[in-house]
Amino acid sequence: MCVWYVSPLYQFNDTDKFVYGLFGDFTRWAGVNRQQIISIDKDMVNYNITITVQGFPDQTSCQVFSVFNDALAYVSCGTSDTTWQARFFVVTHNIICA
C-alpha cells in the first residue's frame, strides 16, 4: 500500500519526539479518507490523539500506524453496536483500541 502522500503525521512535544503516521485501514486496503476517518482529536498538552473510524456493525478495522522511532504498528478495533464506530487512542509509546 503506497499512501504515504495522504498520511497525516503527528509529533508530541515530549522528550522522545516520536512521530506517528496514520496509513489507513489494512483490512480493506483503504488509505486515510473522510468517509472512514471521521475525526482526529489531538491533545498535545497531554500527549494523546483519539482517532474515530466509521464502519459497519460487527466490523473490525485494522489501522496501520508508523512510529518513526520504532516500526509499523497494526492495531485492530471492533465497531460499537450502537454507533458503528471504532476509536484508536495514541499515547506516547502506545496505540490501543479505546
**Which tens digits make up the pLDDT trace of 14-70?**
667 777 888 778 877 667 777 788 888 888 777 788 999 998 888 888 888 887 767
Spatial CA neighbour of 65 closest among 29, 30, 21, 35: 21
User: Cell triple for residue 97?
Assistant: 483500541
Instruction: Say how far apart CA 38 and CA 36 lie, in whole Å.
Output: 6
pTM above 0.85, yes or no: no
Q: In 1-98, which residue ranges form alpha helices assigned H by DSSP?
A: none
Spatial CA neighbour of 67 closest among 36, 27, 23: 23
User: What is the DSSP secondary structure assignment for residue 46, as one 8-state letter?
Assistant: T
